[in-house]
Amino acid sequence: MTAGGRHFLDLSDAGTDAIAAMIADAIDRKAARKALPKGQPDPDAPLTGRVLASVFEKNSTRTRISFDMAMRQLGGSMLTLDSASSQLGRGESIADTARVLSRMVDAIVLRTDSHAKIEEMAHEANVPVINGLTDRSHPCQIIADLLTIIEHGKPLPGLQVAWFGDGNNVLNSVLEAAGLLKFGVRVATPAGYEPNPKIVERARKAGAEIVVTHDPTQAAKQADVLMTDTWISMGQTDAEQKRAAMTPFRVDASLLKKAKDDAIFLHCLPAHVGDEVSEEVFEGAQSVVFAQAENRIHAQKSILLWSFGLLGQDAERRTGP
């Protein structure tokens, strides 16, 4: 908590009820502005006069654009601080940057390499700090993913998600969501690329059924949702060795057939078609990846409103269609 709102570094900062409220608000706002041009504010424009600073130390298309569009649709605006062309790129500390930005803008979204850096930013800032991806987690992505799953007719309680490939930052946030919203996750990775055992254990303790296996078929069986991500995340270097280990975990048509007939395929993007997912699955009828990408805007709006303390206490909750 800051003087001016709440940090969103991980899904647990919000918790089960607030996540369900974010999803409900995103569904309502999305439906209510269907006929409006994309850059026109929602009629209530709840963030009028507020400015978000986005600080990106890694590349981004979706996260950057969706936060910018979310701020416009909520009546506010966003400015971007590229680390390379700012004083961050010349060694100014995260702590000083946080204290300066707190006096100039109303909230900060940071994409960075180390989770410790965003914790330091949050510690020093007295405006809300939002995690736009770190090496540990990608919570904003998962709000959009949950919204997409619900929109495709699948309630979260009792849902069976299957994850294939790398035990990475995006998976960590899927696991955290599973603990908070009580759905099952079966994770299939090569040996040596399993998810962080502490994050798996926390999700299990919270009541989620989590299976970690090296058998992709076991993970896919009767799943409602199949998910994967790039095998090589930004900043990783062990590409050749890792790619070879990952090949049996590609989501292809034969793996998809093991899931439920109405299963959907999600990918946070950017995708490397032919690596972690076959072209047939990526372009196929069960792939919802572009609806998922669009939902980044609607999810960011809910996250921003929650961070500013403007997502009502008595807001509706949604964990199902």
Please indicate whether residue 241 is annotated as part of the active site: no
> Residue 157 class from Cβ within 10 Å (0-12 exposed, 13-18 middle, 19+ buried)?
exposed
Q: Is there binding between residue 271 and ligand NVA (CB under 6 A)?
A: no
- State the catalytic residue, choosing from 50, 115, 186, 296: 296
Please indicate whether residue 138 is annotated as part of the active site: yes
Interface of this chain with ligand CP, residues 257 to 276, rule: CB under 6 A: 268-269
Please indicate whether residue 296 is annotated as part of the active site: yes
Q: For residues 268 and 311, which CB has a smaller minimum distance to ligand CP in the complex?
A: 268
How far is 271 from 190, CA to CA, in rounded Å?
19
- The overall longest dimension of the chain from CA atoms, in Å, is 54
Instruction: Say if strands 51-56 and 77-82 run parallel, antiparallel, or are unpaired.
Output: parallel
Interface of this chain with ligand NVA, residues 229 to 258, rule: CB under 6 A: 229-230, 233-234
Whole-number minimum distance, CB 68 to ligand CP, in Å? 11
> How far is C-alpha 285 from the chain's CA centre?
23
For 57, the enclosing helix (H) or strand (E) is: none
109 pairs with which residues across the strands? 54, 130
- Which residue type does 158 have? G
Please give the structure tokens belonging to residue 131: 């995690």
Q: Is there binding between residue 54 and ligand NVA (CB under 6 A)?
A: no
Q: Is there binding between residue 112 and ligand NVA (CB under 6 A)?
A: no
Window contacting ligand NVA (CB under 6 A); options: 38-46, 226-234, 255-263, 309-317: 226-234
Whole-number minimum distance, CB 204 to ligand CP, in Å? 26
Closest Cα partner for 13 from 126, 114, 101, 137? 137
Please indicate whether residue 111 is annotated as part of the active site: yes
What is the number of other CB atoms lying within 10 angstroms of the CB of residue 15? 11
Size of the site for ligand NVA (CB under 6 A): 9
Please indicate whether residue 218 is annotated as part of the active site: no
Q: Please identify which residue in 94, 129, 268, 315 interacts with ligand NVA, judged by CB under 6 A.
A: 268
Whole-number minimum distance, CB 236 to ligand NVA, in Å? 8
Window contacting ligand CP (CB under 6 A); options: 56-64, 91-99, 275-283, 297-305: 56-64
Region for 146 from its dihedrals, namely left if φ exceeds 0, alpha if ψ lies in -120 to 50, beta otherwise: alpha
Active site residue ranges: 111, 138, 141, 229, 268, 296
Which parts of this chain interact with ligand CP (CB under 6 A)?
60-63, 133, 141, 268-269
